[in-house]
Amino acid sequence: MPAIHRRPRWAVAESMATPENVFASRRAVLAGFGLGAIAGAGFLPGTARAETEDAAARTASLYPAQRNEAYRIERPLTPEDVSSTYNNFYEFGSHKQIARAAQALVTHPWDIEIDGLVEEPTTIAFEDLAKRMPLEERLYRHRCVEAWSMTVPWTGFPLSALVAMAKPLSSARYIRFETFNDPGIAGGQKQVWYPWPYVEGVTMEEAANDLAFMVTGAYGKPLARQFGAPLRLALPWKYGFKSIKSIRRISFTEERPVSFWEEIAASEYGFWANVNPDVPHPRWSQAEERVLHTGERVPTQLFNGYAEEVAGLYSGLEGEPLYR
């Protein structure tokens, strides 16, 4: 009997994807979003500085990666000029226009420590990790807790592949992610009222889900600094603050990690942070979201449209605050 291939629910025809010449059209986007001053100053959003010793230069040959057609979505891609100039990255400031400041991030050398409940703790250079993993491109929706959204072509590898490489012990129940801490280059980290470094966590079951993705690139090239270079997480069914940027340390633990925003305001930003239009943030509704590159307001979907793929992860956890 021949194998039956069942396309994921979000898959659409290739004709639905935004043509490359459209989302790469810088002039139209700049005019529409008031970014002319940035371009005129000689800063090209989404590109790294002209350095030979940064993560982008050292891994450039890996891009563009083959697109995995199982991860295609119904929305047009957000133009790179838009998504790369509207970023949350509190290490470099509490506003959205941190792209220029983020260019101070030094991405080489960039070693990633893997420790905790694993067979053998290790440290691996980012470029060695990127070259070891089978990179692919996926189109993902991204929903910010602030009720705006974008659609991005991320490049990377499944988080499950990293878990397999780490060889965690059976006692590991969570994965704790930690970013860098360098106030000398990241001005936001001079703000002592924040619990630096940024920390996030997921369960081992969430990490094993096919959608959990370690990101090394975007838009067909190495990851720009403002996106969280050289390595970030993408969890498309959760609010964006769970997708930690610029990862330095990955620890396998038995105890549930307390994440950055959970430590600051647990009543507003919990551990789970799954998208749900019916559960408002304490200070605003989550029923709708603003599409970043069009300004259109559209209904928010449960689990950001990935309910069929991830809802089973939370069976039996109805007493937990899953949507905060």
CA distances from 156 to 52, 223, 234, 290 (A): 22, 10, 9, 26
Distance CA 252, CA 231 (A): 18
Tokens (6 digits) for 106: 């030094």
The model's pTM: 0.85
Residue 36's pLDDT band (cuts 50, 70, 90): very low
Count the neighbouring beta carbons within 10 Å of the beta carbon of residue 249. Answer: 18
Whether the per-residue pLDDT at 46 is higher than 70: the answer is no
Which pLDDT tens digit goes with each residue over 287-296? 999 999 999 9
* Cβ-proximal residues to 230 (8 Å cutoff; 6+ apart), any chain: 55, 56, 59, 107, 110, 126, 130, 216, 222, 223, 246
**pLDDT confidence bin for 52, thresholds 50/70/90:** low
Count CB neighbours of 97 within 10 A.
14
pLDDT tens digits, one per residue of 237-266: 999 999 999 999 999 999 999 999 999 999
What pLDDT sits at residue 19? 44
How many H helices and E strands in the chain?
A: 11, 12
CA triple 223-290-10, angle to 5 deg: 65
